[in-house]
Amino acid sequence: MAALHNRISQKELKQRLLAETEPRTTISFYHYFPVADPKAFRDELFLHLDKLNVFGRIYVAHEGINAQISVPMSNFEAFKNYLYSISPLNGIRLNIAVDDDGKSFWVLKIKVRDKIVADGIEDPGFDMENRGKYVNAEAFNRLTENPETIVVDMRNHYEYEVGHFESAIEVPSDTFREQLPMAADMLKDAKEKNIIMYCTGGIRCEKASAYMLHKGFKNVFHLEGGIINYVNQAKENGLPLKFRGKNFVFDNRLGERVTEEVISKCHQCGTPADTHVNCANEGCHLLFIQCEECKTKWEGTCGPECFDFIHLPLEEQKEKRKGVDKGRNVFNKSRARLRPKLSELQKTEQGQ
């Protein structure tokens, strides 16, 4: 029987990816549909996609599928034909990456989850079938010409920080499950207005639009295919781009350039910057924005504590890292976790 999971080390897989000469295309897609047996569906997907040398991260649940992957160009049509052979997925939109070097993933991971988007919704009356109206790039631009239209960003703060739509409202919470009730509360006096929800690829804002309708809002829209599809449509049709800056993505690239405008700042020195990195200290891995000058000065670390740590002997580093859960800082959603690091750095810079 064929293996249903990867058996090669992450290090070797990454080296193989870097050695590849054939171009790859980074794609994201999702679809809400009933999956009777997520485990069986997961195993079938793995067998077919592994044969096509697909890399990426895919979540499967009773409510559907959520995928971010890369596909060798020579296998793209075979991948598409296979995907579309699955009846509920026939013809679904495939979001092609905006700014892609083909090095976004180096292994295929398909996991079964309770939900493809953790939402905290337990109300049995909630229905994903009753969701907001799709808007494409042209309709989005037209609707947002009206100053009464409310645009809501349903992403995390570190995504919003480096790029967002003009006049978009940020919902300042740490998780999507917290964002949903918070967005409804923030807009409770605007139930009759046009509200457009958006996110990276469409999966979060589609669920958010259904939640808002569930809470009594009347005119709810969501951006079809999210920022990725909007940018592609706008470029293809010569439409004005209303997105500013960089679109954060959850793969090795950590972002794709949409406009040349840099709207965020280096978390260490405050100069304009929008490059996300994970702290070079293996016991930290904090996600933060770092400019090239600070990258050189601090050797890729987030501050003096981690800078000193990476200069310890390797055996001492390994001993000190034992039992440390570095995963809590990777793609960390909480501003609160970042503040102590920046405060510590600022004191160092000021000579305190």
Q: What does the pLDDT read at residue 207?
A: 94
Token digits of residue 290: 């770092």
Domain segments of the chain as ranges: 20-112, 133-245, 276-349
Q: What does the pLDDT read at residue 331?
A: 46
Confidence category of residue 136, pLDDT binned at 50, 70, 90 = very high
Pick the closest to residue 4 from 51, 38, 36 (CA basis).
51
Residues 297-322: what's their mean pLDDT? 89
Q: What is the mean pLDDT of the chain?
A: 87
Region 133-245: CATH code = 3.40.250.10
Q: Please say whether the beta carbons of 201 and 225 come within 8 A.
A: yes
Residues 285-302: what's their mean pLDDT? 93
Q: What is the pTM of this model?
A: 0.78
Q: Which residue has the tokens 């990777």?
A: 330
Q: pLDDT by residue (tens digit) across 235-290?
A: 999 999 999 999 988 767 778 899 999 999 999 999 999 999 999 998 888 889 99
Pick the closest to residue 251 from 115, 30, 100, 94 (CA basis).
100
Q: pLDDT by residue (tens digit) across 76-132?
A: 999 999 999 999 999 999 988 876 676 778 789 999 999 998 888 988 888 888 999
Q: What does the pLDDT read at residue 105?
A: 84
Q: What does the pLDDT read at residue 48?
A: 95
Residues 329-346: what's their mean pLDDT? 53
In percent, the amount of the chain with pLDDT more than 90 equals: 64
Q: What does the pLDDT read at residue 259?
A: 93
Residues 63-78: what's their mean pLDDT? 94
Q: pLDDT by residue (tens digit) across 137-151?
A: 999 999 999 999 999
The residues assigned a catalytic role are: 199
- State which amino acid sits at residue 263: I
Residues 208-215: what's their mean pLDDT? 96
Q: What does the pLDDT read at residue 215?
A: 95
Confidence category of residue 352, pLDDT binned at 50, 70, 90 = very low
Stronger pLDDT, 7 or 334, i.e. the higher one? 7
Q: What does the pLDDT read at residue 333?
A: 45
Q: What does the pLDDT read at residue 273?
A: 96
Q: What does the pLDDT read at residue 248?
A: 87
- Rounded Cα–Cα distance for residues 206 and 128 (Å): 9
Residue 283's SS3 state is: coil
Q: Provide φ and ψ at 45, rounded to 5°.
A: -60, -45
Q: Please say whether the beta carbons of 105 and 56 come within 8 A.
A: yes
Among 3.40.50.300, 3.40.718.10, 3.30.70.100, 3.30.70.260, name the CATH number for the domain at 20-112. 3.30.70.100
Scanning the chain, the segments in alpha helix (DSSP H) are 10-19, 38-51, 76-85, 137-143, 157-162, 176-186, 203-214, 226-236, 292-298, 304-310, 314-321, 335-349
Stronger pLDDT, 187 or 255, i.e. the higher one? 187
- Rounded Cα–Cα distance for residues 329 and 325 (Å): 8
